Amino acid sequence: MDENAGRKSFWNETGDDAETWHSIDWNRVDADVRRLRQRIFKAAQEYDMPKVRNLQKLMLRSTANTLLSVRRVTQVSRGRKTAGVDGDTALTPQERSLLARHLIAEKNVKSSPVKRVYIPKANGKTRPLGIPVIRDRVQQARVKNALEPEWEARFEARSYGFRPGRGCHDAMAAIYQIAGKKQAHRVWVLDADLSAAFDGISHQHLMTSLGKFPGREMILGWLKAGVMDKGKFAPTTEGTPQGGVISPLLLNIALHGMEKAAGVVYRKKGAHRAVKEDSPALVRYADDFVVMCHTEEQAYESKRRLAEWFKPRGVAFNEETTRVVHLTEGFDFLGGNVRRYSNGVTLIRPSKDAMKKAAARIREIIRENRGHETKRLIGHVNSFIRGWTAYYRPWSSKDAFKHLDWLLFNQLWQWANRNHRRKGRVWIANHYWKQRIKGSKNRWIFGDDAGYITPATHTKIVRHVPVMDSHSKDDPALTQYWKDRASKRSKLETESKFLQSLAAKQKGLCPECGLDLVEGAEFEPDNVHDWIAWFDARRKALNVHHKIHRVHGGTNDYKNLVLLHTQCHHQRHALEGKAQSSPQDVLEPGAVKAARPVLRGPGVQQ
């Protein structure tokens, strides 16, 4: 790892902190961290623990790791504007540079308590989050880069939650691979739910699992830091607070080994491992999991074994919601309903609960936009529809999309009638509903001169290709595999064929920093509501940039445009001496005439 190169790019003594931050070579920084993660992974894969520990110490001292962690927490993270108990954030280049300097210089900094906040859940209840101070979040990101590759070499193949390169769709695809065959024999399901898993994890058991990891004392400090809830301090004797950067990884570590505990047995099949024919199969997404079994007795036996295994780890089944069901009865998992029908076909569809929540959210959006201009309404509805359909597009969702369009039509009709009480039905229909999409015969597309709402049924069903076996992004032997997945994934993140074309031309990578245009799945939430916001935030994190600025004679021609991360775009302009684009340089939606695309989706700027 080229530490000197990293330090030279950071310690720019000729400029102020803002100039120093903008001058960092992020391509090199990321490459340094990625190479070291790969070395840790390979050493762990080879069970060379002395080498693993030495490389982890190197990662914890790495300047590149500190810089990348500051960037991810203060620029990439959706929670970057959220302050901890000290009220501090680091949202300007000067503040980020200063924070990085302090973290590099400081040793043995004491952890601060987390700030307790409560966010509403879809069921009407609230979920407690613990928000660390910005300094601790960056420190956790640093430690995560040292710890995660070791465990990526260990984690089970069918563990999908909060892991690099894995997500909800992979988990659902794994379930379908088990239950989707007509001759499937695992027809009994332990549909499990854990009681507040994050809050109950045993600190002692977790620290034992971490072994001699060189950053274990920092982790223990965060676990024991306590909570500030409405101005009152409370100590923490168990659990890892939801909201911490490293918390999902710690949960995965605490629950590692669940397959063996449930009675899952593997056998070697060629170059791959496969679950034995008479063994149950377990699919896990963080603390949500199902065990697919051959008989009802086998399902209850798996539950009994797991209940015993959970005890020393501080977690337990929620007996009210955990059940054993037959596949013909169906079960809900990650917002989808998995069910085997009388004709022997197994389908995954949006669950009834998901459809109710979607209808409620549509009504809420319409209500929030009463009295506002149509453009705002269109933007809010499109944002929801785009995220919701993107989540459900890999499954049998055609009927659900039709139902969503029907719900939306009824709500929009009521909205239009309220806004135009003196107008007749014919005027309202002709004013808002027209045939607006080229090539479509549908004349009932809601919109106006500012744009239109894209129907849910215009989203094509595209089957998800699940991640193979135990493939990890930290495996140096699989670099090309992950590049190919990044390229394919970027094509599905926007309905704009023009943006898809730009992403394909760039092979799914940002040319400024060399990283994936689409953020990694380690940030992917485990529920549809949060997934929609996460999906939309990723799309907005992309800008279209003019290689030759319009003020300098550049055009909107395809050859003059490139797709960049928003933060990379800002850095490019800062290095060019432009703090922000001037109005005449901004590429407006629909402005590209070369291929006449409609630019909807990520922010489109110079």
Tell me the range of 264-273, 383-392, 544-553 where mean pLDDT is highest: 383-392
Q: Grade residue 573 by pLDDT with cuts at 50, 70 and 90.
A: confident
**Residue 606 within a domain:** no
The verdict on 495 and 416 lying in the same domain is: no
Burial (CB < 10 A; 0-12, 13-18, 19+), residue 268, is: exposed
pLDDT score, position 302: 98
Nearest Cα to 537, choosing from 77, 82, 2, 96? 77
Domain count across the chain: 4
**Residue 145 within a domain:** yes
What's the 3-state SS for 273-294? EEECCCCCEEEEECCEEEEEEC
The verdict on 331 and 207 lying in the same domain is: no
Q: Grade residue 258 by pLDDT with cuts at 50, 70 and 90.
A: very high
Beta-ladder partners of 545? 562
pLDDT score, position 547: 81
The verdict on 436 and 481 lying in the same domain is: no
Distance CA 346, CA 341 (A): 6
**pLDDT for residue 91 is more than 70:** yes
pLDDT score, position 208: 97
The verdict on 321 and 414 lying in the same domain is: no
Q: For residue 450, which amino acid is it? A: A
In this structure, of 222-226, 365-369, 506-510, the range with the lowest mean pLDDT score is: 506-510
Q: Are strands 114-120 and 227-229 parallel, antiparallel or unpaired?
A: parallel
Q: Are 25 and 572 in contact (CB under 8 A)?
A: no
3-state secondary structure of 562: strand
Residue of 408 and 87 predicted with greater confidence: 408
Of the residues 348, 377, 405, which one is the last residue of a structural domain? 348
The verdict on 197 and 335 lying in the same domain is: yes
In this structure, of 140-154, 267-281, 351-365, 512-526, the range with the lowest mean pLDDT score is: 512-526
Positions of E strands within 95-187 = 114-120, 126-131
Q: Grade residue 594 by pLDDT with cuts at 50, 70 and 90.
A: very low
Q: Are 72 and 186 in contact (CB under 8 A)?
A: no
The verdict on 165 and 309 lying in the same domain is: yes
pLDDT score, position 580: 44
Long-range contacts of 173-176 (CB under 8 A, 24+ apart): 173/394, 173/464, 173/465, 173/466, 174/283, 174/466, 175/283, 175/290, 175/292, 175/333, 175/338, 175/348, 176/338, 176/346, 176/348
User: What integer best gives the mean pLDDT of the chain?
Assistant: 84
Using one digit for the tens of pLDDT, what is the confidence trace for 369-396?
A: 988 889 999 999 998 998 899 899 999 9
In this structure, of 374-383, 387-396, 450-459, 560-569, the range with the lowest mean pLDDT score is: 560-569
Of the residues 329, 348, 367, which one is the last residue of a structural domain? 348
Of the residues 324, 348, 372, which one is the last residue of a structural domain? 348
Query: What CATH number is given to the structural domain containing 287?
Result: 3.30.70
Q: Tell me the average pLDDT across 569-581.
A: 63
Distance, C-alpha 220 to centroid of its chain: 26
Using one digit for the tens of pLDDT, what is the confidence trace for 15-72?
A: 566 677 878 888 899 999 999 999 999 999 999 999 999 999 999 999 999 999 998 8
pLDDT score, position 525: 62
Q: For residue 184, which amino acid is it? A: A
Q: Are 59 and 36 in contact (CB under 8 A)?
A: yes
Residues 386-407 as b or e (16 or more Cβ within 10 Å = b):
bbbbbbbbbbbbbebbebbbeb
pLDDT score, position 583: 36
Q: Grade residue 439 by pLDDT with cuts at 50, 70 and 90.
A: confident
What's the 3-state SS for 486-549? HHHHHCCCCCCHHHHHHHHHCCCECCCCCCECCCCHHHCCCCHHHHHHHHHHHHHCEEEEECCC
**Residue 110 within a domain:** yes
**Residue 603 within a domain:** no
**Residue 591 within a domain:** no
Using one digit for the tens of pLDDT, what is the confidence trace for 159-203?
A: 999 999 999 999 999 999 999 887 889 999 999 999 888 889 999
Residue of 561 and 122 predicted with greater confidence: 561
Within 272-373, residue ranges assigned H as helices are 296-310, 352-368
pLDDT score, position 230: 83
Q: Grade residue 204 by pLDDT with cuts at 50, 70 and 90.
A: very high
Angstrom distances, CA of residue 260 to CA of 185, 280, 305: 20, 10, 10
Distance, C-alpha 548 to centroid of its chain: 33
Long-range contacts of 55-62 (CB under 8 A, 24+ apart): 56/146, 56/147, 56/150, 56/213, 56/214, 56/215, 57/214, 58/1, 59/33, 59/142, 59/145, 59/146, 60/142, 60/143, 60/146, 60/214, 60/215, 62/1, 62/3, 62/6, 62/32, 62/33, 62/36
**pLDDT for residue 492 is more than 60:** no
Nearest Cα to 444, choosing from 459, 456, 458, 429? 429
**pLDDT for residue 597 is more than 50:** no
Tokens of 562: 């490139």
**pLDDT for residue 603 is more than 80:** no
The pTM (predicted TM-score) of the whole model is 0.85
The verdict on 148 and 227 lying in the same domain is: yes
Nearest Cα to 493, choosing from 211, 155, 169? 169
In this structure, of 222-231, 280-289, 527-536, the range with the lowest mean pLDDT score is: 527-536
Using one digit for the tens of pLDDT, what is the confidence trace for 308-332?
A: 999 999 999 999 999 999 999 999 9
**pLDDT for residue 114 is more than 90:** no
The verdict on 366 and 505 lying in the same domain is: no
**Residue 310 within a domain:** yes
The verdict on 127 and 273 lying in the same domain is: no
3-state secondary structure of 433: strand
The verdict on 95 and 192 lying in the same domain is: no
Using one digit for the tens of pLDDT, what is the confidence trace for 502-511?
A: 777 777 777 8
3-state secondary structure of 340: strand
Q: Which domain holds residue 482?
A: 476-585
Q: Tell me the average pLDDT across 215-236.
A: 90
Tokens of 422: 């003196």
Residue of 597 and 407 predicted with greater confidence: 407
Cα-Cα-Cα-Cα dihedral of 60, 537, 509, 481, to 10°? 70
pLDDT score, position 577: 65
Q: Are 568 and 542 in contact (CB under 8 A)?
A: no
The verdict on 179 and 286 lying in the same domain is: yes
**C-alpha atoms less than 13 angstroms from C-alpha of 552 in its C-beta half-sphere:** 8
Distance, C-alpha 289 to centroid of its chain: 18
Distance CA 155, CA 45 (A): 11
The verdict on 544 and 562 lying in the same domain is: yes
**Residue 598 within a domain:** no
Nearest Cα to 188, choosing from 288, 301, 96? 301
Distance CA 433, CA 416 (A): 11
**pLDDT for residue 333 is more than 50:** yes
Q: Tell me the average pLDDT across 545-571.
A: 80
DSSP assignment of 51-118, as one string? HHHHHHHHHHH-HHHHHHHHHIIIII-TTTT---TT-----SHHHHHHHHHHHHH--SPPPPPEEEEE
pLDDT score, position 593: 34
Q: Are strands 114-120 and 126-131 parallel, antiparallel or unpaired?
A: antiparallel
**Residue 597 within a domain:** no
Residue of 208 and 86 predicted with greater confidence: 208
pLDDT score, position 442: 87
